[in-house]
Chains A and B, each alone.
Chain A
């Protein structure tokens, strides 16, 4: 097996501060600390993505390119297809 070369992660989008919209379908526990968090909860919160790091996820990404092409024909919009080593949303 030849392993794939690494690709830049989706979080690079956040690092570049590209503004996006709010995403309704992704549910990640809040990074904000609870009022009286346990050490474990505090440690986890420090690793979770910030709001900026999740902005790129606000785009209503589809996951099936063939279905997306069919949808584009119906709604008369072009398709933007993001391809990288590892599904960009699989890394999400």
Chain B
């Protein structure tokens, strides 16, 4: 709980119109897109880096925790205020500051929504490739803070590959610039941007980002390939990659989702199919039919029952609407689900899918599986009824078992959602004590008192305490 005097000091920084602390406002910001609920003590909506700097300095002076937040679409609890304190919401810093087509860069504020940037770039013939499923709502600051992925990562990479420079406010209020935003000497010098990317707001607040953009492809072709077994669909994925073809998108949905999506969108997907691959190639145009023919042939050889090409742009869009609807349609089956976003090397994907299915069968829990199979990232969604305590507990146990199953395959517990609060339990399994200790040392370098987005990423014993000592 903050004193009224302190609240007034924060209010003076941003102005009364950008400060909220009524119970209903605080309740609204107790949530993100994860099941975690923690209430902040004060909501601040700054408009400049200088305001954020003053907020952070003031918070540091009084030992108040700071939680940075964009649109609150985190699926892992990254955007809730675990230790209360001040929440810095960047949604009012939402401008495109500069577009430079010669440099192929765009300078943006952190609160700009991903899709708004795409819409801004489109008339100029450019795109920002990372396209997380939340792109209609999620902000670029949030995308950078968790290094968001999306559907196009096999060919185009993830958010970090498009960040050329950052402006950040560190825990002592310093405004620092890294990468190309700080390019100052001919030798370039070390670039500390890397450790700030995907640090989930635990090292500072992003206030500007210089992003690389790429030309929009001239054309795209998309197909859906239907399989009677997940194993065959996995074989098709491997053979496409082994043939040297890099589709822009290569997505997978399993039978549970096929039926749910079909009930919702009526696309004509066969309800008895065990797996469908949705594949899109993009490029200049003349090379695409040949590429897609090769893909179709490889799918047939792997055992595809049918392959259908989207004939119009509208049909293509529908395929991706179907894929993006995968989370929402699960509500038709069960009222809640625990989302995983494990990733494994592509060569181990078949094993992973089989293992996850076996775990679900063993515990009698429905697991819907979708994923960006081209890059090895799958989303097993564990369906349960929160009103059924036994099933809820069972879902939690399965969540742990599924997460642990990916590690012996050389995979990771989180491909794109971030660790936040949700995946902390896995950190001691994915990393050695030395590795966690080293991460802890880096965290302490930039936030020795543990005030920046406290309680996230690292297990408690590796986080700094408010006195700067290890707990």
Q: Are A and B genuine complex partners?
A: no
